[in-house]
Chains A and B, each alone.
Chain A
Amino acid sequence: MSDTPILTITGLRAKVADEDLDILKGVDLELQPGEIHAIMGPNGSGKSTLAKVLAGHPEYEVTGGEVTFNGASLLDLEPNERALAGLFLAFQYPVEVPGVSIANFLRTALQARLEDGEEVDLFDFQDELIDRMKLLDMEPAFAERPVNDGFSGGEKKRNEILQMAVLRPSLALMDETDSGLDIDALQIVARGVNTLRDENPEMTILLITHYQRLLNFIKPDVVHVMVGGRIVRSGGPEVALELEEQGYADWKDQEVVTA
């Protein structure tokens, strides 16, 4: 692992575009290549907002701070430019795109990564897609279904990981990928993520979750606790276990004190 962080967040503040109050109130975070970080926190603490702001969601507005991704400023980039730079957001609520098959969508996404004049080789793509689907226990026919249209919650989450597996980001933000998954599906997803990391040890992951459960399957190097739009504690995996026992009550009290 190199000493240059892949992602550096400094004093990041952000709000919903047409509202007044900041949701992120000065987030500091540093991820080294290949690390797995988990951010835990209660509802409304700003975890998902952080993921969306990093991916460039138009609903949010950055009001302060900086984010450096691979040595360049991230916040000036359009969402698609961030994706091409290697960032991937696995959505908490994946969006339905009726009439567009997963295969077609992914081929278009891969095509976007090529230079003008280059074309995705259809046969290579087909092989790759089938290979990636096997990794996630998916039937090949799944690729012909319209993106997230009529999917169960579990199928949507698995589809997110499939996209991640095909697009091979250097930084994956996984926003509550575990919610709505039963234990079998959770294990499949975790196995997929771990395989991707075995294939590319440099792949960096930021997991956002309510629960310790996911962390039994995807082992984090660092666990952060986010409360009231700030990281209030960072530590090793033991932090997650503490939270599981004690909940967030202590941190909430602290927020009231500091507010």
Chain B
Amino acid sequence: MPENELVKGLGLDEYQYGFVDDEAHVFRTRPGLDEDIVRQISKHKDEPEWMLEFRLKALKIYERKPMPTWGGDLSDLEATLDEIYFYVKPQDHMERSWDDVPDTIKTTFERLGIPDAEQKLLAGVGAQYESEMVYHSLKEEWSSQGVIFDSIEDGLKNHPELFREHFATIIPAADNKFAALNSAVWSGGSFVYVPRGVELKTPLQAYFRVNQERMGQFERTLIIIDEGAQAHYIEGCTAPVYSTESFHSGVIEIVLKKDARFRYTTIQNWSNNMYNLVTQRAVVNENATMEWLDGNLGSKLTMKYPSCYLMGEGAHGEIMSIAYASDGQHQDTGGKVVHVAPNTTSSIISKSISKGHGRSSYRGLCKVYEGAINARSNVECDALLIDETSRTDTYPYIEIEEKRSSVGHEATVSRVGDAQLFYLMSRGLTQEEAMALIVRGFIEPIAKELPLEYAVELNRLIELEMEGSVG
């Protein structure tokens, strides 16, 4: 394939997931964005009128809102957005069985190990290829329990009341510029509903990848965990290496009803031309527990701050994140916890690694509203610098209106030291192996929370990244 040759020529071939398959899309809008394109998307998806209106309103908000001036450097983004395709549809209809999935798409999945994982662990797969679900299966026992794990489009079609009751209530279109953009052009993503009292033992997984040059990906996910229900949702993605800019802006909305437990795990390993600007937020009601486990690798710029709004008494929110910034990359990540009700608790653990000229920033907010008596929050952010040129910053915002609460914040910065490297090398490890071991040790407290195959993949990526890291 010529693209593969190109990738090789750039010397990027050690990035093992940086391959490109022949594109199999059947419909796409022209590059750029205006009202006409939004109407086309909605029409193509055969949406109800209210959704079209929602999209058009969101588009206006998007056009009105200025580019954020905080966080990362977005100065090149405007030009990028004029060139991307806001909607690409790979296939006409949803696939139910693996046999029906087109070969080119299968090849991509096989290289990512999807069919394997499917056999072993996956119960339901919502795999997103380009902008839409192409493959989706759900274990029978789950259907019988009333669990819904659909593409977001099918969620809207098949469960209109449930969908409309929650959609855009957690993250309204006006929340921020990119939430508005996503609201206008969203396509693909998952719709999940776990009914009252149902405890899912195996995780729900959606594995997707962006696979078209200059393509924007605007997935939208809505997850509702009903009273006392428990589930774990896993999403991971890798993207091919391209030379032109790419853009990803997702919106993830989660509602946890009373006593629910939910974990959302994601590892994103974007190619290093990607703007990754994601809004993800959970509303956590009485005695419910929400956990975000968030890994950000790759991309040109990631701005992502998973949030927990602790609305009910006794609600608990946890945010664990790993960020890895290499040359030319900026990871601006962190988390937000908002304590609204009494006896709510939260913790943020953030680990970042910066290599070469990479930069990682921790940006976090802990807000305690008046009346959130006995709210307790603890924030810990640790940064590891690999080289003299690597950079890290910390922007912790703490706003406390309730005196009867306690908030702790702890931040460390360390550099991989000669002493550590020498110690490991004196046992026979090469400098690269020593470096990889130190980095793996650094992220271990979070990596151990990951599902095994993700932890393995993360370790492998770190080893690849550490190759040639020492000169």
Contacts and interface: CB of A to CB of B under 8 A. Distances in A.
Given A108-B437, A112-B430, A97 B424 contact: yes
Contacts of A100: 437-438, 440-441, 444
Interface string B422-453: 11111111110110011011111100000000
A146 B444 CA distance: 10
A91 B428 contact: no
Interface string A24-47: 000000000000000000000000
B427 A163 contact: yes
Contacts of A99: 440-445
Interface in B190-232: none
Given A58-B418, A97-B420, A79 B425 contact: yes
Contact of A105 (B430, B437, B443, B445): B437
Contacts of B431: 78, 80
A113 B419 CA distance: 22
- B interface residue count range (under 10 / 10 to 19 / 20 to 34 / 35 or more): 20 to 34
A81 B420 CA distance: 17
B403 to A, nearest CB: 35
Contacts of B441: 97-100, 146
Contact of A89 (B418, B424, B426, B438): B426
A80 B445 CA distance: 28
Nearest to B421: A58
Nearest to A164: B427
Contacts of B433: 108, 112
Interface string A146-175: 100000000000000001000100000000
Contacts of B420: 95-97
Contact of A98 (B418, B427, B442): B442
A158 to B, nearest CB: 16
A132 to B, nearest CB: 14
A222 interface: no
A220 interface: no
Nearest to B444: A99
B423 A97 contact: yes
Interface string A69-103: 00000000011101110001101001111111000
Contacts of B428: 80, 83-84, 109, 112-113, 167
Contact of B419 (A95, A108, A109): A95
A97 B414 CA distance: 12
A51 to B, nearest CB: 11
Contacts of B426: 55-56, 79-80, 82-83, 88-89, 91
A94 B427 CA distance: 12
A58 B433 CA distance: 17
A88 B441 CA distance: 23
A59 interface: yes
Nearest to A82: B426
Interface in A177-206: none
A79 B422 contact: yes
B100 to A, nearest CB: 39
A134 interface: no
A233 interface: no
Nearest to A90: B426
A57 interface: yes
Interface of A: 55-59, 78-80, 82-84, 88-89, 91, 94-100, 104-105, 108-109, 112-113, 146, 163, 167
Q: Name the 5 nearest CB pairs between A and B, nearest first.
A: A99-B441, A99-B444, A100-B441, A95-B423, A83-B428
16 contacts: A55-B426, A56-B422, A58-B418, A80-B429, A82-B426, A83-B426, A91-B426, A95-B422, A95-B423, A100-B441, A108-B429, A108-B437, A112-B430, A112-B433, A146-B441, A167-B427
